[in-house]
Amino acid sequence: MNISSSTELITLGTAAGPAIRGKENGMASAVVVDGKHYLVDFGLGCVRAAHQAGLRGQDLVAGFITHLHSDHVGELPAYLMWNWGAPVDGFTTPVGLYGPGKDPNHVRGQQLAGTRELVDHTLKAFSYDLDIRVTDEARPVMNTLLDVQEITLPAAAEGSGNRPFIIYEDDRVTVRAVLVEHPPVFPAFAFRFDTAHGSMTFSGDTAECDALIELARGSDILVHEAVNLEFFTAMGFSPTFINHQRESHTPPEGAGRVAQAAGVKHLVLSHLAGVATPEEWKQRAETSFAGQVTVASSGQRFALNTLAADVVG
């Protein structure tokens, strides 16, 4: 019997939001390892994109949320409803959900939801549907299947001492995180997945960031956001809006600088904010990065490696 072992990235969605400026799905990615998968963010369109990519909830191990902007979590409720229970090949055993806790820096932070309350409120909002399907379709009780973990910051992750720290580990992957710079949002995370076949890092939303360079060091793939500030300026957006884009996001040249400093092999531009042609995004990143650059589109696949073994029996 021939058994294949591999790690694959699927860019389920690549558009920034919450504005819709093109055909691409909102921000979501899948890391597929030996037939099991892990999701990073749940942007607009991720439910259908995951299904079209052949991903089923029964093979989901865990989901990871970079930060709580709506364009990264807006379709989490739908994902849970469409991928739960045997009738839809959904999850019937516990899955992990890892994301930010409450914002300690916000004046009303303790009254605003972190990841745990986001999920709790989702389950309450859909409680009628959930109850009906448990009794009418023999589905498991969803709240017994969601292991929600708010990412706890080690002391070393604060400020200039920010270093990668492990947030999840199983026999297929080790997932590390760092805090990134996405003001005024806090906390906002980047994630790195290490597998037997290689590594990939997801920037989340961030300005150029030394902590991200450290996290991504030596990665096979860096999925990094990019913003076209010139588009927003030309379209007459307000100075406040443009300043947010400048202070909280990264131009493609900056993504290239991060990739070059980290020594990554392949820079994949995603979470594209503003409008430019793929050639324009790519050429701008190539001014500061000597490696391979891809401007991602929804549903694209990137294989790290494929190892085949002949097994008798």
In this predicted model, what pLDDT tens digit does every residue of 271-290 receive, in sequence order? 999 999 999 999 999 999 99
What pLDDT, on a 0 to 100 scale, did the predictor assign at position 285?
A: 98
Quick: pLDDT tens for 122-170.
Answer: 999 999 999 999 999 999 999 999 999 999 888 655 554 479 999 999 9
DSSP letter for each residue of the chain = -EEEEEEEEEEEE-B--SS--SSPPBSEEEEEETTEEEEE---TTHHHHHHHTT--GGGEEEEE-S---HHHHTTHHHHHHHTBSGGGT-B-S-EEEEE----TTSTTGGGS--HHHHHHHHHHHTHHHHHHHHHHH-PPPGGGTEEEEEPPPPGGGSGGG---EEEEE-SS-EEEEEE--BTTB-S-EEEEEEETTEEEEE--S-SS-HHHHHHHTT-SEEEEEEE-HHHHHHTT--HHHHHHHHHHS--HHHHHHHHHHHT-SEEEEEEEES---HHHHHHHHHTT--SEEEE--TTEEEEEEEEEEE---
What pLDDT, on a 0 to 100 scale, did the predictor assign at position 162?
A: 79
The domain 2-306 having CATH identifier 3.60.15.10: the answer here is: yes
Does residue 33 surpass a pLDDT of 80? yes
- Read off the pTM: 0.94
What pLDDT, on a 0 to 100 scale, did the predictor assign at position 313?
A: 29
What pLDDT, on a 0 to 100 scale, did the predictor assign at position 4?
A: 52
